[in-house]
Structure 1
Amino acid sequence: MIRPLFLALLLGSAASSAAAQELLIRGGTIYTGVAEQPTAEVVLVQDGRIAYVGPASGVPEIDYAETLDLQGATLFPGFTDGHAHLDGIGWRELTLNLEGSTSVAEAMARLAAWAEENPEGPIVGRGWIETHWPEARFLTAADLDAAAPGRIVLLSRSDGHAVVASSAALAAAGVDASTVAPSGGEILKGPDGSPSGLLVDAAEQLVAGLMPQADPEALREAYRAGFRVEAAYGWTGIHFMSAPWRDIPLLEAMAEAGEAPLRIYNSVTPDGAAALIAGGPRSVADGRIITRAIKYYADGALGSRGAALFEPYADRPETTGLMQITGEEIIPLYEAALRGGIQVATHAIGDRGNASVAEWYQQALNAVPAGDRPHGADVRWRIEHAQILRPSDYHWFKDLPIIASMQPSHAIGDLHFAPARLGDARLDGAYAWHSLVDMGVIVVGGSDAPVERGDPLIEFYAAVARADLEGFQGPDWRPGEAVDRATALKMFTLWPAWASFREDELGTIEVGKRADFSAFSVNLMTAPVADILNGRATLTVVDGVVVYRAESPMRIAP
């Protein structure tokens, strides 16, 4: 007996209890990600695993199955965000969100409204970026003071590598004209030597103590919000970068309680390195939450001029950026991770940052032979972002090898200011997805949300269009670094699975693999590129359980 299944949003314990023993999915094009059988008409799921993929005529005889009609939507292997910050995504929903603000004036109007609605306590927000503002400048303490007089205000730039603090916040933290920036940080100052309010990279720690400490239930709600947002975008999994070590027990408890509808692969903050290495990789709830990696930082971000470059910034020649760590400090930590069987992911954006990390990886790998590592030579170490490379350094990614974990939306946002920061010559190695893929490098696609919006359709579009959301590319933006659609699909499905050591379970729609699927109203493989941005997620399935379904799929393109 086959009957229709009508499912809407199913999150948390409800999703776990709603699992169908047998689930038949049909009614739309199914892309498997398998070259030998690229499309199928139906997929049959049994006990959370894929039992059949192929033509409708070949479906095995079954006594009972729920039927899920795609209603013309297009089904893919589960999309995985290869680099995101789940806690930040959740907090973005619960705090002042300055995304999309078009000017200093608009951003400050939002702050003033928030301050009026929330009259007590510090004000925390994120998402502003000055590159499109008519004022063409960073926010300052004076801006915040005028919008929220006397309040402690901390507003992070969209990249998370700079925060602007109000005068009250600076005073509370003891930051004044005499304060010396910590190594790897910068305190921007005005003509009179007083802090402007902007603190870059390591200098952000000067005001970290002013951030409101969330109570356990507020933190849990932030993670719930993050899960809701990501499921509705169509992500089935997230590589959670800089996952706070203190939050790992909470995430594991949520998974055990059925409150983690998506797969989470944790790369933890350095304060958890020793404990993770000593205890080894962690996995709970049948692999729903896996903690197996450590995230380190080599440099800062390009937008706030913290990315470490070999040559000075073209638009600020007195600086070459900010390294956050030295080889003497990090190589022993890398070696310890190798001996403990723990994956390493290191943030590097500038060409000097990337070259340094590659050289440090090589030194650590040479110091710890494969025979002294629990997983031998198969370490699958990563560089997160790998944004600005010297072409002469591409070989590191193939030779060592190194996974290049890159976020396509950074390129389509950065194209409006990166040429000014870098000059034309350095754009040859900027956001070089196609060049790395051509060399056989695994390029994992991600969003870096909440730095970016976090929509997989934006990321897929950026990878294949290499143009901003209005279609603008610019004459110097190296269009040849765009990738084809088959490659883009791997960047968000099979290659994140490989980067998390789960390619045998995830990443393609094949018999025996876990039943993780993402469906969209737009056919990513055939629709005009511009139409990709008009689509939306219609279905998200994890382990055969529907964790999100749109009320109406609204198919918009062939």
Structure 2
Amino acid sequence: MTRSLLLAALVAAAPFSAPLSAPAQDMVLRGGTIHTGVEAAPTAEVVVVRDGRIVWAGPAAGAPVEGLPLVELNGATLFPGFTDAHAHLDGIGWRELTLNLEGSASVAEAMARLSTWAASQPEGPIVGRGWIETHWPEGRFLTRQDLDAAAPGRIVLLARADGHAVVASSPALVAAGVTAATEAPFGGEILKDEAGQPNGMLIDTAENLVAGLMPQAGAAATREAYRAGLSVYARYGWTGIHFMSAPWRDIPLLEQMAEAGEVPLKVYNSITPDGAMALIAGGPRDVADGRIITRAVKLFADGALGSRGAALYEPYADAPRTSGLMQTTPEAMRPIYQAGLRAGIQMATHAIGDRGNGSVIDWYEEALAAVPPAERPNGTDVRWRIEHAQVLRPSEYAAFHTLPIIASMQPSHAIGDLHFAPARLGDARLDGAYAWRSLAERGVIVAGGSDAPVERGDPLIEFYAAVARRDLEGFQGPDWRPQEAVDRLTALRMFTLWPAYASFREAELGTIQVGKRADFTAFDIDLMTVPAERIPAGRAILTIVDGRIVHDAR
């Protein structure tokens, strides 16, 4: 859900010194619990790897280990490689390199961080992200007056954590020509104060009004941001990432990095809409033995719940004047969807509100009816996705199974949103909110992700959220639909096998089986047995991709 205009700041980044990947090696993994993700053979004593592929997963007796180097787990627990099915690789990297307001406990704390950053960066625009007001004692969004006081005279642009709103300082609004008379673009909103003047908050497409103020990052800085993001994700234990809203202009750079051995993880790109027709015309792209695959387009139906941009059928319970914002029209989507079907390009459409999701379901159904399977390279196996599928009407669960649609969902949203979603939605609409279990039990593929940098991007937090449905302090709140928490095997599939399926790679990823690629994640806790409250305190011990150790904390 990030906006590229908020990630394009030129920063002075220190060179990345650690190698991003080690040479591929044959190996024998042993010395800890090994969960294969295979129902018929759920555990193994030993895994043997040759040339980046699994050649043995089973008992120690009979394993072909002679002459192979040992990788001792030292009591850690090994899983199939964890894949984040929805994250923003560029934003993860820029979060490491720009002003990060994540975790700010109040307006005062966020502005203190801004003042400190402004003092250390005395020239040029200031950009950052990560603030969220739902826990703040002030109980409100940031305003331009807050920014003006913390960084006087400076152009400041600070994105809310969800990436669907930005607060701009007064100098930024003046420089962009935003006044009381400025009309918000379709799909956006300019919030105003009691005097009718812009208060600095620009929602969804209104963010583009300040796009011209952003310093443009050169290729070197962009490369450094990607390197930083990939490094962080390897340390967290991810072996792959579905890069949502991957900038079309950056695809050649990512491919060059992969060919140069600078991409330690598997990256599956769902590109920005500006490249949709070019990708459709050229077809799917696959480089460096599948290290970078580009075969999907990310589109937007509505906005986000926190900034009241998610499109609802009925008004917000805590803001009856609005029902949210649709970001597009069926007329705009129809030609992209139909052309994508004919070219074998996957569609991944952002939808959060019930009206946003209902609209996408209707549009998908219409496109599938308009383009017969005989005219599609993939026939009936198109694997289209809805990104977030956050608030549904229970009557629409069936459409995810029958069309079918992959539900690409982020469990950590539920453990953050539980502090404000009941107020936004009212109790009745919570029946279809964050409904992982209801969908999975109907046979829907629920691909688990994090939406980082909207959330932290830690696989242990995501797994915990899926099985506990409580915040990190253990709070759940009254009737937060605890029955939608999933069992641990389902959670494991959400971050292993189902992301593999969602990227057309279940034949080679997602489980520890002979013939599949040697992608593994090892944690210092056993996610299948440890008490749920201890899961977030764990850490990744080992990350292996195609038989290469890309993170080792043993």
Q: Could you say which TM-score interval applies, normalised by the shorter chain?
A: over 0.9
Match 1:503 to one of 503, 506, 517: 506
Structure 1 SS opposite 2:359: helix
| 2:255 maps to 1:244 | no
Structure 2 SS opposite 1:72: coil
The CA distance in 2 between the partners of 1:75 and 1:159, in whole Å, is: 32
Match 1:25 to one of 13, 26, 29: 29
Provide the residue aligned with 1:456 in structure 2. Answer: 459
The Cα shift of 1:18 comes to 2.1
Match 1:60 to one of 54, 61, 64: 64
The CA distance in 1 between the partners of 2:71 and 2:172, in whole Å, is: 53
Provide the residue aligned with 2:196 in structure 1. Answer: 193
Provide the residue aligned with 2:104 in structure 1. Answer: 101
C-alpha deviations, 1:25-52, integer Å up to 9, x for none? 1110000000111001110000000010
Provide the residue aligned with 1:556 in structure 2. Answer: none
The CA distance in 1 between the partners of 2:343 and 2:17, in whole Å, is: 33
Amino acid at match of 1:19: A
Provide the residue aligned with 2:44 in structure 1. Answer: 40
The Cα shift of 1:61 comes to 5.1
| 2:185 maps to 1:182 | yes
The Cα shift of 1:183 comes to 0.6
Amino acid at match of 2:491: A
Provide the residue aligned with 1:340 in structure 2. Answer: 343
1:224-373 alignment runs, 5 A limit:
224-373=227-376
Amino acid at match of 1:352: R
Provide the residue aligned with 2:145 in structure 1. Answer: 142
Provide the residue aligned with 1:215 in structure 2. Answer: 218
Structure 1 SS opposite 2:240: strand
The Cα shift of 1:298 comes to 0.1
Provide the residue aligned with 1:50 in structure 2. Answer: 54
The Cα shift of 1:396 comes to 1.0
The Cα shift of 1:212 comes to 1.3
C-alpha deviations, 1:167-220, integer Å up to 9, x for none? 011011000100000010000000111000000001000011111100110000
Contact 1:13 1:259 (C-alpha < 8 Å) held by counterparts: no
The CA distance in 1 between the partners of 2:401 and 2:538, in whole Å, is: 35
The Cα shift of 1:58 comes to 2.0
Amino acid at match of 1:18: P
The Cα shift of 1:152 comes to 0.4
C-alpha deviations, 1:51-92, integer Å up to 9, x for none? 101111221153x21111111100000000000000000000
The CA distance in 2 between the partners of 1:248 and 1:15, in whole Å, is: 19
The CA distance in 2 between the partners of 1:413 and 1:44, in whole Å, is: 40
Provide the residue aligned with 1:531 in structure 2. Answer: 534
Amino acid at match of 1:297: F
Provide the residue aligned with 1:444 in structure 2. Answer: 447
Structure 2 SS opposite 1:333: helix
The Cα shift of 1:494 comes to 0.2
The Cα shift of 1:528 comes to 0.4
Provide the residue aligned with 1:7 in structure 2. Answer: none
Contact 2:267 2:292 (C-alpha < 8 Å) held by counterparts: yes
Specify whether residues 348 and 71 from structure 1 end up closer, same or farther in structure 2 by C-alpha distance, changes over 3 A only: same
The answer for unaligned runs of 5 or more in structure 2 is 1-15
Structure 2 SS opposite 1:127: strand
Match 2:119 to one of 96, 116, 121: 116
The CA distance in 2 between the partners of 1:17 and 1:429, in whole Å, is: 45
The Cα shift of 1:13 comes to 9.8
The CA distance in 2 between the partners of 1:160 and 1:422, in whole Å, is: 20
The Cα shift of 1:438 comes to 0.8
The Cα shift of 1:258 comes to 0.1
| Structure-2-length-normalised TM-score | 0.96
Provide the residue aligned with 2:173 in structure 1. Answer: 170
The CA distance in 2 between the partners of 1:119 and 1:357, in whole Å, is: 45
Specify whether residues 363 and 12 from structure 1 end up closer, same or farther in structure 2 by C-alpha distance, changes over 3 A only: farther
Specify whether residues 105 and 183 from structure 1 end up closer, same or farther in structure 2 by C-alpha distance, changes over 3 A only: same
Provide the residue aligned with 2:4 in structure 1. Answer: none
> How many residues are paired up?
539
Amino acid at match of 1:240: F
Contact 1:12 1:261 (C-alpha < 8 Å) held by counterparts: no
Contact 2:20 2:231 (C-alpha < 8 Å) held by counterparts: no
RMSD of aligned C-alpha atoms?
Answer: 1.0
Provide the residue aligned with 1:490 in structure 2. Answer: 493
The CA distance in 2 between the partners of 1:463 and 1:375, in whole Å, is: 31
C-alpha deviations, 1:116-143, integer Å up to 9, x for none? 0000110000000000000000000000
Amino acid at match of 1:90: G
The CA distance in 2 between the partners of 1:81 and 1:16, in whole Å, is: 19
Specify whether residues 153 and 301 from structure 1 end up closer, same or farther in structure 2 by C-alpha distance, changes over 3 A only: same
The Cα shift of 1:333 comes to 1.1
The CA distance in 1 between the partners of 2:354 and 2:236, in whole Å, is: 32
| Structure-1-length-normalised TM-score | 0.96
The CA distance in 2 between the partners of 1:306 and 1:101, in whole Å, is: 23
The CA distance in 1 between the partners of 2:108 and 2:372, in whole Å, is: 57
Specify whether residues 189 and 32 from structure 1 end up closer, same or farther in structure 2 by C-alpha distance, changes over 3 A only: same
Match 1:159 to one of 139, 158, 162: 162
The Cα shift of 1:419 comes to 0.3
Structure 2 SS opposite 1:151: coil
The CA distance in 2 between the partners of 1:113 and 1:325, in whole Å, is: 39
Contact 1:13 1:258 (C-alpha < 8 Å) held by counterparts: no
Structure 2 SS opposite 1:224: helix
Structure 2 SS opposite 1:511: coil
C-alpha deviations, 1:395-415, integer Å up to 9, x for none? 110110000000000000000
The CA distance in 2 between the partners of 1:251 and 1:210, in whole Å, is: 26
Identity of aligned residues (%): 75
The CA distance in 1 between the partners of 2:153 and 2:435, in whole Å, is: 46
The Cα shift of 1:349 comes to 0.1
Contact 1:15 1:261 (C-alpha < 8 Å) held by counterparts: yes
The Cα shift of 1:15 comes to 5.6
Segment of structure 1 superposing worse, 325-334 or 243-252:
325-334
C-alpha deviations, 1:503-528, integer Å up to 9, x for none? 00000000000000000011000000
Match 1:407 to one of 393, 407, 410: 410
The Cα shift of 1:17 comes to 5.1
The Cα shift of 1:328 comes to 1.2
Structure 2 SS opposite 1:378: coil
The answer for unaligned runs of 5 or more in structure 1 is 1-10, 553-558
The CA distance in 2 between the partners of 1:17 and 1:61, in whole Å, is: 21
The CA distance in 2 between the partners of 1:19 and 1:238, in whole Å, is: 20
Write out the 4+ residue segments of structure 1 that deviate beyond 3 Å after TM superposition: 11-17
Contact 1:12 1:259 (C-alpha < 8 Å) held by counterparts: no
